Amino acid sequence: MASLNLASIFSYSYRSLSAPVTLLRTLASTRAYSLNKKTLVLCSLSKRKLSCESLKQDVACTTATSSINGYPEYTRLLPCPSHNNPPRIEHLVVSEDGPVLDYICKALDLPPLFVADLIDFGAVHYALVCPQPPPTATFEQIRVFEEVTAPSVLNKRTSIKGKTVREAQKTFRITHVNQFLEAGMYLRVHVHPKRFPRCYDIDWKSRIIAVTESFVVLDKPAGTTVGGTTDNIEESCATFATRALGLTAPLRTTHQIDNCTEGCVVLARTKEDCSVFHGKIREKTVKKLYVALAASPIPIGVVNHYMRPINMAPRLVSEEFIKGWHLCQLEVMECKRVPWPDALTEEKYCVQDCGWPSKDHAYECKINLLTGRTHQIRAQLAALGAPLVG
């Protein structure tokens, strides 16, 4: 039986880049990749540069000519290209037992070395049972889902004995090219993982602020990710800092700051150390200070908003309480007028003309983050009429 490809079955924000190749195999892609009492206060003043640095790097691209399917010709993931390819995520239901490398190569017509690189990058995920399709799924996609998740089919699979359907639908990362696949399993392959060329420009050893038996404090550069993304755990601060220090065990992330932000992050040496630091965050004994460049002045004091509980952009906030929305609190400690970034800085940090109220002055704000919602500072300052520059 041919591979059952549920390419657009999770199409909340997906788009197809090419026509179907066969009835059962459709290549598709998505725009979304779905898919930080006085003890241990460690260097948490972040130098918050709030726009992505222009990442210019003259390196060879991993993809060159176009293939017959309209996709690039795939070779290797390294050297790192200076740009990201359009997103492409493949959803597959495994039709026959065998090693994951062989199956993906055959199902998606990809070269073995490229697939091996994807697995090394953490760009391949699996679940024992295919997840529930979204409301936007077509009749055919729902039919395929019902076929492979029928009780009569699932009852024959020993690998899911004793598990609930929800447990069996939980996704995990494929970690080895020879990992065995069982017919009926679900695969998600991020063929174009998000890349971070900035990682290869950094002198990582010079960014290390402190090293203890339990933690490493790193001055994270802008344009990098702390612990990796869903489709790329290779090009991350944790990975490169581990190598720079010559450690045998990988460093673990304890908190996050945005890719476009630079500043202090604390990396744990062990799983137990990571749990200790998480406990300090819960107990509010870790203080996080940020410096943000805003387009307008902000009053000193505590600012409260409520954020919509949806983990996707745009991050909506309200000044009024809304049931189910998350409380966002920050304290503006300082706000001083500074010159607007000059043309060279605007170019370096990709600052575009967004109809700013003034381009004579900006406002540098020191902010104490009291709650840690994703993109909280950006959302709250924008709601105050003082969006971040960049």
The catalytic residues are 258
Residue holding tokens 């029928």? Answer: 150
In the Cβ-directed half-sphere of 277, how many Cα atoms lie within 13 Å? 24
Tokens at residue 95, please? 């039709």
CB burial of residue 382 (10 Å; 0-12, 13-18, 19+): middle
Beta carbons within 8 Å of 166's beta carbon, 6+ residues apart: none
How far is residue 283's CA from residue 37's CA, in Å, rounded to a whole number?
8
- DSSP-derived 3-state class of residue 94: coil
- 165: phi then psi, degrees, rounded to nearest 5: -60, -40
Between CA 77 and CA 85, with CA 80 as vertex, the angle to 5 degrees is: 75
Asked if 119 and 101 touch (Cβ cutoff 8 Å), the reply is yes
Give dist(CA 208, CA 206) in Å, integer.
6
Cβ neighbours around 320 below 10 Å, total: 7
Q: What whole-number distance in Å separates Cα of residue 365 and Cα of residue 54?
A: 24
DSSP label of 320: S
CB 9 within 8 A of CB 134: yes
